[in-house]
Amino acid sequence: MSETEEQLAREIEELIRQLRPRLRQILSAYHVPYPDSEDLLQDTLIAAFRNWERIQAKDAWILGTLRNKCSIYWKKQRSDRLQAVDLPMLESLSEPMPPLQERSEQIWDLETLAGTLSRRHRFVLWLRFGLGMSTLEIAERTGYNDSSIRKLTCRSVARLQRELAAPLLRKAGPKPA
């Protein structure tokens, strides 16, 4: 390194020592994370080094450039987040919701179908699927064994499936031989 470059490096180091509290204040005011703040400060100092001879008020230039780089940093962060949200991808992830009327019709059909079950079966199904209780919680509440609750739940669902399939089987008629 030449003597002028060494003198320039010493001059920049001295200026940084003087500006250190204000540089920290700017970085904390912009809430820049530590690793990124190091990069922004380094970019500012490299720009200062390249333009050192043309800069008249060196301290004001460094502080202003750092503020500008912090502002650009957050604009870039916001745009990166917006670009990360891909509309077609979000649409593919979201399932279409059935209309409320259709949902209420499904609930009515399910309640009508469940009406064919015994009171005990309906109660266990309501606890399991309506309230989302586990088999252990249902067993504690009803006084049954947890394996009995699993069997009762499976039998209830099987009966509902048979009831649901019965009209379809009647329409299909007997199988040809």
| 73 & 114 share domain | no
| Average pLDDT rounded to a whole number, residues 160-174 | 69
HEC sequence for the chain: CCHHHHHHHHHHHHHHHHHHHHHHHHHHHCCCCHHHHHHHHHHHHHHHHHCHHHCCCHHHHHHHHHHHHHHHHHHHHHHHHHHHCCHHHHHHHCCCCCCHHHHHHHHHHHHHHHCCCCHHHHHHHHHHHHCCCCHHHHHHHHCCCHHHHHHHHHHHHHHHHHHHHHHHHHHHCCCCC
The fraction of the chain above a pLDDT of 90, given in percent, is 27
Of the residues 17, 49, 82, the one at which a domain ends = 82
| Residue 94 in domain | no
Does the pTM exceed 0.85?
no
| Residue 92 in domain | no
- For residue 156, how many other CB atoms are within 10 A of its CB? 21
| 78 & 108 share domain | no
| Average pLDDT rounded to a whole number, residues 23-49 | 91
Q: How many domains does the chain have?
A: 2
Check pLDDT > 70 for residue 4: yes
Q: What's the one-letter identity of residue 146?
A: D
**pLDDT tens-digit series, residues 52-86:** 889 999 999 999 999 999 999 988 887 766 555 55
So what's the pLDDT on residue 92? 63
